[in-house]
Amino acid sequence: MRKTGQLIPFLLLLAFLFAFPSVAFAQDETPPPDETVTDDEVNAIAEQLYCPVCENVPLDVCETQACADWREEIRTMLAEGRSEDEIKTYFVERYGRRVLSTPETTGVDFFLWVLPPVGVLIGVVVLVLALRRMAPAALAAPPEAEITLEFDDLDPEYVARIERDLKEFT
C-alpha cells in the first residue's frame, strides 16, 4: 500500500503539468520577417557593406550565419522605416568604417577620392612632356607640302617590274 501512496502524488503532479502548460510553451516564436520588404531592397543596402567577420566579402553574398543575421537586421530596420543612410550609419557605429564598400567623402577618406584622378592627371602631363623632349624636331617641323619619291637609286629592272605589276592590277 505504501507504493500506491507514493504513486498518487506523482500522477497528480504529471496531470498538473499536462493540464497547465509551462511558460516556455506559452512564448511566441520569433515573428516572421516583414513581407513588405523584399530581398532586393535588403541586398541593395547589403551590397554597400562588407561583412565585419569575413575579409573583403560583401554582406549580400557572404554565406556565414552572422551575415544572414545582419541581413535580417537590415530587413527589420527597413520594416521599421529607417533610411539607407541610417542603416549604414548604424553599421559604421557598431563595426567601424571598414564595413563600408565605398569610402566616405569626408575627412581622411576624401583623399581616397581625390588622389587617383590627380595621379592620372600628373601622369598624363609627365607623359606629354617626355614625348615632347623625345621628338622635339618632329613636333616642331612643319609638314612638307608634297611627298616626292626618288627612284634614281633603285634598280631599273626592279622599277620596270613594279610598273608592269601596277598596270596589270589597274
pTM of the model: 0.46
C-alpha cell at 67: 551575415
More confident site: 111 or 78: 78
Query: Model confidence at 142, in pLDDT bands (50, 70, 90)?
Result: low
Q: Cα–Cα distance between 146 and 151 in angstroms, integer?
A: 16
What average pLDDT does the structure give for the chain? Answer: 77
Q: What architecture is domain 39-103?
A: Orthogonal Bundle (1.10)
C-alpha cell at 33: 520577417
Question: 3-class secondary structure for the chain?
Answer: CHHHHHHHHHHHHHHHHHHCCCHHHHCCCCCCCCCCCCHHHHHHHHCCEECCCCCCCECCCCCCHHHHHHHHHHHHHHHCCCCHHHHHHHHHHHHCHHHECCCCCCHHHHHHHHHHHHHHHHHHHHHHHHHHHHCHHHHHCCCCCCCCCCCCCCCHHHHHHHHHHHHHHC
Give 43-76 pLDDT, tens digit per residue: 888 888 888 778 788 888 888 888 888 899 999 9
pLDDT at 20: 61
Give 33-43 pLDDT, tens digit per residue: 546 888 888 88
Give 20-31 pLDDT, tens digit per residue: 655 545 455 555
